[in-house]
Amino acid sequence: MGNSERRRALNYLDANWMPSTATGRWLAAPIALPVGLAAGATDAVVLHPLSQIDDSWDDTVSAVWDFSASTEFRTVLLVPLSTVATPVVFGVRWLFRSVIDCRDSGQEPATQIEGEPLDTSRDELREESK
């Protein structure tokens, strides 16, 4: 719950229902505290695990069903094993992603395109110094 991107219900409450004055916050505290605890529990137990299903599925597909480097014969042999392993791998990855704060699959860092350097600033500095 330390990552603010993972607290959807609490962020909604903070953005829409938090009083702007300190006096208003103190007056709303008897109601805000139980509502905030319920929203935090909802985030931790329901919303965050639900949001990790698609990333867990992507992890499972890449770990169990990626046969790109295999021959057709190997693929035929691995399909029954992959079928049996899929629920186990998915469950473990989903539990891991639900408990541990991991980077989402859509937030992967940019990769280097073949033949192009990632950082060209050093090359430009060398050219200028010549």
Cα 33 from Cα 19, distance rounded (Å): 13
Q: What is the pLDDT of residue 128?
A: 47
Mean pLDDT, the chain, integer: 80
Residue type, 75: T
Residue type, 116: E
pLDDT, tens digit (0-9, with 9 covering 90-100), for 54-88: 999 999 999 899 888 878 888 888 899 999 999 99
Whether residue 96 is found in the same domain as residue 57: yes
- Is 30 part of any domain? yes
- Quick one: which of 63, 64, 59, 56 has its CA closest to 83? 64
pTM of the complete model: 0.65
Q: What is the pLDDT of residue 83?
A: 94
The domain containing residue 36 runs over which residues? 1-50
CB atoms within 10 A of CB 59: 20
- Is 125 part of any domain? no
pLDDT more than 70, % of the chain: 77
- Is 130 part of any domain? no
Over residues 23-30, the mean pLDDT reads: 88
Whether residue 56 is found in the same domain as residue 95: yes
pLDDT band with cut points at 50, 70 and 90 for residue 108: low
- Is 25 part of any domain? yes
Which of 42-51, 58-67, 90-99, 112-121 has the weakest average pLDDT?
A: 112-121
The count of structural domains within the chain is: 2
